[in-house]
Amino acid sequence: MQLSILFPAIVNGILNGALYALIALGLTLVYGVLHIINFAHGTLLTAALFAAFFLYRIFGLDPYISVLVLTPAFFLIGYALQRFVIGPVSRGDDSNILLVTLGLAVIIENGLLFAFRGDTRTIDVAYGFAVVPFAGMFISVPRLVGFAGAVVVTLLLWLLLGLSDTGKAIRAVAKEKLGAQLSGIDVPHIYALTFGLGAACVAVAACLLIPTYYVNPHVGNAFVLIAFTTVVLGGMGSIPGALIGGVFVGLIESLCGLYLGESLGQIGIFLMFILVLLLRPGGLLGARA
Amino acid sequence: MNRRGLWPIVAVVAVLSCVPLVVHSDVILNFLVTALLLTLAGQGWSVLGGYGGQYSFGHAAFFGTGAYATAILQTRYGLNAWPAFALGIAAGAGMGAAIGALTFPARLRGSYFALVTLAFAEVLRILASVAPVTGAGVGILVKLDPGIHALQFSSRAAFYWFILSLVAAALVVTRLIEKSRFGAWLVAVRENEAAAQALGVDPTRVKLAAMTISAALTAAAGCFYVQYFLFIDAPIAYGPWISVEALLASIIGGAGTVFGPLLGALMVKTLGELAKLVTGDAPGLDLTLYGVVLILVVWVAPRGVAGIGARCRAWLARRQVGAGGSAA
């Protein structure tokens, strides 16, 4: 394989991987604190992509500006979902949570399908195809922005969890729920807050994705297993792990696509996912078992 | 085996088998055939998910393997439909055993198990959509050849009795499992794996056996799908729809009960038809409603609709005991 093809594939993989990391970040955060897998995560991304699409189409709002609207909006949606739907309905039972989030995923995906049909939509911003030359190749500007955005959000989240009082409360609940409750932390509130943060990550990712990507009611599914793979690779609940896992998954996808072709290329991710789960369920970094 | 345990099954199947004698509408019979097809798939899910507590999100892997094996053996190897059908079930069971043998010794359970089954189904879907043997993107058409020798029937009623007999067999299998020592082990593993192991049950082997039986039942639904529709492609065979619907039918009706999946499948399909009446053929609304019902069931009746009956009986029994006590 010629280096002139391989090198751009690697760079593309890394750039995509950062966005995967951002999507996985929400998932890993929710897993780390609530110890549940949110199956509705991918469909929340679909919903956010639709929201960004219509904000652009109807109000002419640039996706990089609508991030300021959608992030708080999705934080509230996520908060409400956990506080008023997932929490009360599942009564804390793990398999119930699994079913409720699956139910939510089915509702969101098919509700969108019913409302907007299966058409694939794209937006055409002026900078959609802008490129910058770099080391003899061309790098897409929106993807570069996506990469930077993902890294910044990861950093912010890491600081929030590490330094703020809320972050401390979230970490306390993640480590020892009962102990946190006994020291006066409102656990359902923290749960909902964490879920809200996860949804907010997805909203940011959607705004960064939409300039170069498309949206249809099923688009989130493509990201669900990618995000799970990322999370599993990086170690469930680990934030730096999500970033590294995301970049790794992006690379694998890009290289498998290069060597195996577009449709068979996706298989690399799933196989890797299965292998990691079977052989090293604690993640490649071994963050936690 | 207590013979009394089989009477309810005999009664239900007897009543259901009279339906085509009264109803001659092809629309209604077609509806019942698809509901029974879903019952069969859901019954498979219930053996592993209901009795064994292992929630699979990828039962499409077994449905699709059964369907493809039946179709490929007939169209490419010229095999008669009867052995092809049987081999299809065996192939599905083999897929179940293989996935189980990979996942259970790795101690994957709960959400991890759900995820890994989903991933297996997706891998199979992608493979089937590119491999030449499965017809790649085009799918496989089975030749129309009505007659008992080819397991195809020109009348809906015959197809109805065929799927009903498969469902009857699945009901009996489930009942036998429930009453057997194996069933007790399976429930013990579901309730507390460590405790079951301490008492000498081998959880991996028990779960593996349950998964094999479960896969065989769901694969039978896939085999029937091919005989009924004479077509299969990757999104139908391995797509997430069947994984979700099998789970829904089972959970809504009551996973881990003999009649739960039958109840659930009838409810799910009725709801889907009602949604179609309201909206015409707009896609999405039926599945949206399924999602709502799933959440409502988890909320109100965590043990499914069949569980409501059990709870009412327990409540009546308590009342009677209470009344008797006060009279004395």
Which A positions 68-127 lie with beta carbon below 8 A of chain B?
A: 85, 88-90, 93-96, 98-100, 102-107, 109-115, 117-118
- The pair of structure tokens assigned to A39 is 């199956």
> Domain range spanning residue A177?
3-279
pLDDT level of residue B2 (50, 70, 90 thresholds): low
Per-position DSSP letters for B163-174, written without gaps between them: HHHHHHHHHHHH
Q: Do B126 and A267 touch (CB under 8 A)?
A: yes
Considering only alpha carbons, which residue of chain B is nearest residue A227?
B115
- Taking only the tens place, the pLDDT of each residue in A36-78 is 788 889 899 999 999 999 898 888 888 888 889 999 999 999 9
Mutate to test the interface with B, among A95, A98, A216 (most CBs of B within 10 A): A95
Question: Among B180, B216, B264, which Cα is nearest to B5's?
Answer: B180
| Chain B residues closer than 8 Å to A102 by CB | 57, 244, 247, 294
Position A287 in a domain: no
Tally of structural domains, chain A:
1
Quickly list DSSP for B8-24.
HHHHHHHHHHTHHHH--
Chain A hits for B115, CB-CB cut-off 8 Å, are: 37, 228, 232, 273, 277
Predicted confidence (pLDDT) at residue B203 exceeds the cutoff of 50:
yes
**What is the chain A residue with the closest CA to B124?**
A267
Residues of B in contact with A278 (CB under 8 A): 102-103, 106, 108, 116
Q: What CATH number does residue A11 fall under?
A: 1.10.3470
From the number of C-beta atoms within 10 Å of its C-beta (0-12, 13-18, 19+), residue B47 rates as buried
* % of chain B beyond a pLDDT of 90: 49
Window from A226-235, B124-133, B213-222 with minimum mean pLDDT: A226-235
The residues in A 117-176 lying below 8 A from B, measured between CB atoms, are 117-118
- Taking only residues 24 to 53 of chain A, the set having a beta carbon closer than 8 angstroms to any beta carbon of chain B reads 36-37, 39
CA-based angle B297:B302:B305, to the nearest 5?
Answer: 60
Examine residue A285 and state whether it is found in any structural domain, yes or no. no
Among A93, A110, A228, select the one facing B284 at the smallest CB separation.
Answer: A110
Using CB atoms and an 8 Å cut-off, which of residues 224-243 of chain A contact chain B?
225, 228, 232
Is the interface score ipTM higher than 0.90? no
pLDDT at A249 over 90: no
Cα B244 to Cα A183, A235, B96, distances in angstroms: 41, 27, 17
- B13-24, pLDDT tens digit by residue? 999 999 888 888
Do the domain assignments include residue A99? yes
The predicted pLDDT at position A281 comes to 65
What's the number of domains chain B is made of?
1
| Residue B100 in this model has a pLDDT that exceeds 90 | yes
With CB atoms and an 8 Å threshold, state whether A278 touches B298.
Answer: no
Count A/B contacts: CB-CB distance under 8 Å. 121
Q: What is the mean pLDDT of chain B?
A: 88
pLDDT at A161 over 70: yes
In a domain, A288, yes or no: no
Query: Does A114 contact B299 at a Cβ distance shorter than 8 Å?
Result: no
- What CATH number should be reported for the domain holding residue B51? 1.10.3470
Q: What is the pTM of this model?
A: 0.85
User: Is B193 within 8 Å of B203 (Cβ atoms)?
Assistant: yes
The answer to whether the Cβ–Cβ distance between A107 and B115 falls below 8 Å is no
The H or E element spanning position B231 is strand B231-232
Q: Which of A113, A232, A266 sits opposite B284 (nearest CB)?
A: A113
* Residue linked to tokens 């009342």: B319
Query: Above 70 in pLDDT, residue B131?
Result: yes
Distance CA A283, CA A236 (A): 7
User: In which band, very low, low, confident or very high, does the pLDDT at A273 lie, cut at 50, 70 and 90?
Assistant: confident
| Res. A79 pLDDT band, cuts 50 70 90 | very high
Average pLDDT over residues B205-224: 96
For residue B13, what are the domain limits? 3-327
